């Protein structure tokens, strides 16, 4: 039962060679025929309620046991020393219940390959790194590993029921809003990895965010700072339909859960690779250590590596949310501009300030306007923005994306000022409604109807047009809108 999966082509590897892979943050899933739709509808009625009831019962039971085991233990207690005695033994019962949850969810086929260094032999591999990270179903690997201490976002501690179960693994929490969190997390990993006490293994998803498993993105070096041996673990989902992948641009968590629970069965494959022992150079350079481990895992998976990061992911998400043209491919646009030397000279800012006279361009015209050679890099940049209807590029859209990348730390109001220039086809500084719609959909992330309503509200004198000054005056005086838009930088702060 196959589903269509549409992803967008992407980017270049670090050596400048083209890597024809999927955009790692995009996953599209559709029920592509009537048979699939009818089958899913039937299993939604017959299978889904039974599975939900069983899963809820098992999770609530495991949660109840976890509450007993955590009774009278503070957060500091969980950080200071590993559990012992009856609390440690209770872990086995909780783990057994979670294994049943995996089966109840339809994962009857969890295939384990390779040799795992069990927790009792943790000194051989105090740290476990798992990749690619693509789904909340990756928790299956945690179960197979015997519930090691996970490195997780602090928000997960507040999840109903699941939070207590994660707490029972004595996790290392990452507070992404805390500027000191990174150093504190590294310090705690080092302490546990080098401790003489019987701590569980520390489990890390080094990519730091979910991808579609088409490649391995940059590994965060935090788990490699201790300089201790690590055991790489790969995870695959060899299913006819990929209902588990949860990315920034794709189906939501509930839709994926629904589609997965309405499959007759799902498969997961976990492979334990040989323990990786760092050499002296890698011990001194955690980033080198992380890259080398990633290369080993990528080779085992048969996928390329790509230097995307969590911050790139956030930038893509913001560009998409704002409606920036080419937002999903903004990371590739950035790299292509860098390879062409455009990120240094930034000719797009000058072109945007001057306004756009010729709006639809062919590939040679596009290259000429940018002062770039008409080679494979320029052709690829052109293809990203090419209109399927005309085969041409709408130049204001490209310039809008380039301005967004060039002004990542500038106030968002400056981006809006450029947008007023770019989508003003009269050159008068006055935008009519259809021009303002382009600005609002590409800079404010509004739908067309919302943009039209905003235009009517901002055009208080019924002139039939808006200037940048008119709009900003309306925006600042309108209580419905936050002034943070005017002052906030475009790019989220790096974690």
Task: Please report the pLDDT score of residue 5 as a whole number.
Answer: 34
pLDDT of residue 301: 96
Q: What are phi and psi of 484, to 5 degrees?
A: -60, -25
pLDDT at residue 296 greater than cutoff 90: yes
The rounded Cα 185 to chain-centroid distance in angstroms is 20
Under a CB-based contact definition with an 8 Å cutoff, are residues 424 and 417 in contact? no
Cα maximum dimension of the chain: 78
Query: 285 or 121, which is more confident?
Result: 285
DSSP 219: P
pLDDT at 22: 52
458 vs 299, residue with greater confidence: 299
Q: What element of type H or E holds 130?
A: strand 127-131
Residue 122 pLDDT > 80? no
Output the average pLDDT for the chain.
85
* Residues 414/395, Cβ–Cβ less than 8 Å: no
Q: At what angle do helices 395-406 and 310-322 cross, to 10 degrees?
A: 140
User: What is the pLDDT confidence band of residue 110, given thresholds at 50, 70 and 90?
Assistant: very high
Using the CB atoms, write b or e for 438-451: b if 16+ within 10 Å.
bbbbbbbbbeeeeb
- 3-state SS, residue 172: strand
Tokens coding 64: 């109840």
What pLDDT was estimated at residue 181?
A: 76
Using an 8 Å Cβ cutoff, are 238 and 271 in contact?
A: no
Q: Is the pLDDT of residue 438 over 70?
A: yes
Cβ-contact 435, 425 below 8 angstroms: yes
Q: What is the pLDDT of residue 327?
A: 80
Give the model's pLDDT for residue 123.
65
Query: Cβ(308)–Cβ(24) under 8 Å?
Result: yes
Query: Taking the domains of the chain in order of start, what are their residue ranges?
Result: 34-308, 311-487
Per-residue pLDDT at 39 exceeds 90:
yes
Q: Dump pLDDT digits (tens) for 211-262.
A: 999 999 999 998 899 899 999 999 999 998 999 999 877 899 999 999 999 9
Report the distance separating Cα 351 and Cα 369, nearest Å.
Answer: 9
- Cross-strand partners of 146: none
């Amino acid at each position: 039962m196959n589903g269509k999966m549409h992803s967008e082509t992407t980017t270049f590897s670090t050596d400048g060679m083209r890597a024809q892979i999927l955009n790692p943050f995009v996953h599209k899933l559709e029920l592509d025929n009537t048979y699939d739709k009818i089958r899913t509808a039937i299993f939604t009625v017959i299978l889904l309620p039974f599975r939900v009831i069983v899963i809820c019962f098992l999770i609530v039971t495991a949660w109840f046991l976890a509450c007993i085991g955590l009774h009278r233990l503070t957060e500091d207690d969980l950080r200071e020393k590993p559990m012992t005695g009856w609390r440690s033994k209770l872990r086995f019962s909780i783990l057994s219940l979670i294994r049943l949850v995996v089966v109840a969810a339809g994962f009857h086929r969890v295939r384990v390959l390779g040799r795992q260094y069990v927790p009792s032999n943790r000194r051989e591999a105090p740290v476990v790194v798992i990749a690619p990270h693509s789904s909340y179903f990756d928790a299956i690997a945690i179960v197979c590993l015997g519930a090691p201490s996970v490195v997780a976002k602090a928000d997960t501690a507040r999840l109903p029921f699941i939070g207590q179960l994660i707490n029972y693994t004595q996790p290392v929490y990452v507070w992404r809003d805390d500027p000191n969190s990174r150093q504190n997390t590294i310090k705690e990993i080092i302490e546990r990895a080098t401790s003489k006490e019987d701590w569980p293994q520390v489990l890390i998803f080094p990519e730091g965010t979910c991808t579609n498993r088409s490649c391995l993105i940059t590994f965060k070096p935090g788990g490699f700072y201790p300089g201790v041996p690590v055991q790489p673990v790969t995870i695959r989902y060899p299913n006819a339909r990929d209902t588990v992948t949860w990315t920034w641009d794709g189906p939501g968590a509930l839709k994926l859960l629904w589609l997965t629970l309405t499959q007759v069965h799902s498969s997961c494959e976990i492979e334990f690779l040989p323990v990786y022992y760092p050499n002296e150079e890698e011990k001194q350079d955690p980033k080198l250590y992380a890259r080398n481990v990633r290369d080993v895992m990528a080779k085992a998976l048969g996928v390329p590596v790509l230097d995307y990061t969590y911050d790139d992911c956030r930038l893509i998400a913001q560009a998409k949310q704002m409606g920036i043209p080419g937002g999903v491919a903004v990371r590739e646009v950035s790299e292509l501009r860098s390879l062409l030397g455009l990120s240094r000279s930034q000719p797009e800012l000058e072109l945007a300030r001057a306004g756009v006279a010729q709006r639809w361009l062919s590939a040679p015209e596009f290259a000429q306007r940018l002062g770039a050679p008409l080679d494979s890099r320029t052709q690829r940049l052109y293809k990203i923005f090419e209109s399927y209807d005309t085969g041409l590029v709408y130049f204001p859209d490209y310039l809008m994306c380039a301005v967004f990348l060039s002004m990542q730390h500038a106030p968002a109001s400056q981006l809006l000022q450029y947008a007023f220039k770019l989508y003003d086809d009269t050159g008068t500084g006055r935008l009519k409604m259809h021009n303002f719609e382009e600005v609002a959909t590409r800079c404010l992330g509004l739908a067309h109807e919302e943009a039209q309503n905003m235009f009517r509200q901002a055009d208080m004198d019924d002139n039939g047009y808006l200037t940048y000054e008119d709009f900003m005056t309306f925006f600042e005086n309108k209580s419905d809108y936050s002034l943070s838009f005017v002052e906030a930088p475009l790019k989220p702060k790096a974690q």
